[in-house]
């Protein structure tokens, strides 16, 4: 673990932030209260007051050329109930993400994060809905996060993930490879010069409906480049989903496999231990991330993980077509 990337928030800072927040949202906070504009404004004001040093550090780690990632451990306060610690932890995560981006909110008014809850009993349901990559016991190889629209691929500038709860004794590591540290990148840049486009089978987007069933949302395929140069002349990558021979030439399938292998075998990756109440904030346009399989579930618990994810509303867009 690269400890120099970790930002420390003291219990005192967290407690004072929580106290200020509870004045705004009342004594019985719910996660839903974090949708309110007035609460989100208050989170920003309180963060400037209590987390200014952490915010500066996170910004400098995420903005740095050879880094692009920051880690923050959010304390627990004995003064708060577990429900209050859950809500204040989510609020702190939101406040820290604001250091580098503006959280996307559905219709401009939803929560600043999406909440992903997994349980052992839901794993079968998730797998049958094609969501096996979202189950905690799945290995998630190197990729970057993308949003697919009807006219192309958007790479959110920043992504934040926060493990509010981990029901495993061995959750392994989160891995980050900044594109600046990918030493074989040059081998693949010809694809950008030639404007090589691939048909990518997308990883289904996770969506739990009102009945608790998991359903797929969004398109299944997109036709887009895997590598391009943005308007500033920087290489950008779209590494998500699968490139299969049913939709692509053998040459393309081989090139993509070689690219994935090169990224996966790069020894300059940064390893971050997965930990409960640990927030990870990264510059999604400038690196690839992956995580280990969560192992050794805590016995007697059905709940396996609660994860919050923030997506920056600002993104870099590249035109493509739905295939
Ligand atoms: Fe991801």
**Per-residue pLDDT reduced to its tens digit, 295-311:** 999 999 999 999 999 99
| CATH code, 124 | 3.60.130.10
Last residue of a domain, one of 79, 112, 145: 112
Shared domain check, 309 and 208: yes
Shared domain check, 292 and 181: yes
d(CA 64, ligand 1 centre) in Å:
20
d(CA 243, CA 260): 11
210 has pLDDT over 90: no
Report which of residues 219 and 54 the model is more confident about.
54
Shared domain check, 298 and 171: yes
Last residue of a domain, one of 83, 112, 141: 112
Q: Are 301 and 177 in contact (CB under 8 A)?
A: no
Find the mean pLDDT for residues 101-125.
Answer: 89
Shared domain check, 271 and 229: yes
Tokens of 9: 């928030």
Shared domain check, 126 and 6: no
132 has pLDDT over 80: no
At 133, is the secondary structure helix, strand, or coil?
Answer: helix
Report which of residues 64 and 2 the model is more confident about.
64
d(CA 245, ligand 1 centre) in Å:
24
Residue 40 per-residue DSSP state: H
Flag whether the pTM goes above 0.75: yes
Shared domain check, 235 and 210: yes
d(CA 189, ligand 1 centre) in Å:
23
Range of the domain at 135: 120-323
How many CA atoms lie within 13 Å of 151's alpha carbon, on the beta-carbon side? 2
d(CA 211, ligand 1 centre) in Å:
26
pLDDT, tens digit, for every residue of 134-154? 677 666 799 999 988 778 899
Shared domain check, 81 and 222: no
Q: How do beta strands 287-291 and 295-297 pair?
A: unpaired
The whole-number pLDDT of residue 130 equals 67
Shared domain check, 34 and 74: yes
Last residue of a domain, one of 57, 78, 112: 112
d(CA 225, ligand 1 centre) in Å:
19
Number of domains in the chain: 2
d(CA 302, ligand 1 centre) in Å:
24
The whole-number pLDDT of residue 1 equals 54
Residue spans of alpha helices (H) in the chain: 11-25, 37-50, 52-63, 82-97, 123-128, 190-193, 250-264
Shared domain check, 130 and 93: no
d(CA 291, CA 59): 23
Residues shown for the chain? 323
d(CA 134, CA 122): 11
Shared domain check, 133 and 55: no
Shared domain check, 243 and 161: yes
> Please, is 207 exposed, middle or buried when counting C-beta atoms within 10 Å of its C-beta (0-12, 13-18, 19+)?
middle
d(CA 161, CA 311): 9
d(CA 184, ligand 1 centre) in Å:
22
The whole-number pLDDT of residue 323 equals 63
d(CA 248, CA 236): 21
């Amino acid at each position: 673990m690269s400890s120099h990337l970790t930002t420390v928030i003291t219990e005192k800072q967290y407690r004072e932030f929580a106290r200020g927040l509870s004045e705004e949202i009342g004594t019985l906070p719910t996660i839903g209260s974090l949708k309110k504009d007035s609460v989100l404004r208050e989170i920003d004001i309180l963060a400037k007051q209590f987390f200014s040093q952490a915010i500066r550090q996170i910004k400098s780690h995420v903005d740095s050329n050879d880094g692009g990632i920051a880690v923050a451990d959010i304390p627990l306060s004995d003064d708060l109930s577990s429900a209050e610690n859950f809500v204040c932890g989510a609020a702190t995560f939101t406040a820290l993400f604001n250091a580098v981006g503006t959280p996307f909110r559905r219709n401009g008014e939803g929560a600043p994060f999406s909440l992903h809850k997994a349980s052992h009993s839901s794993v079968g349901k998730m797998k049958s809905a094609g969501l096996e990559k979202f189950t905690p016991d799945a290995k998630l190889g190197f990729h970057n996060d993308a949003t697919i629209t009807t006219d192309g691929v958007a790479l959110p500038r920043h992504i934040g993930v926060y493990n509010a709860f981990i029901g495993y004794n061995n959750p392994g590591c989160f891995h980050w490879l900044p594109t600046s540290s990918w030493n074989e990148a040059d081998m693949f840049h010809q694809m950008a010069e030639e404007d090589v486009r691939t048909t990518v089978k997308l990883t289904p987007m996770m969506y739990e409906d009102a009945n608790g069933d998991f359903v797929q949302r969004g398109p299944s395929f997109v036709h887009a480049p895997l590598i391009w140069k943005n308007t500033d002349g920087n290489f950008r990558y779209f590494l998500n989903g699968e490139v299969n021979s049913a939709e692509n030439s053998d040459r393309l399938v081989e090139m993509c496999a070689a690219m994935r292998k090169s990224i996966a075998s790069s020894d300059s990756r940064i390893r971050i231990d997965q930990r409960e109440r640990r927030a990870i904030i990264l510059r999604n346009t400038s690196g690839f991330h992956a995580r280990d399989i969560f192992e050794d579930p805590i016995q007697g618990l059905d709940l396996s993980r609660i994860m919050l994810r923030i997506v920056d509303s600002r993104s870099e867009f590249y035109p493509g077509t739905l295939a």
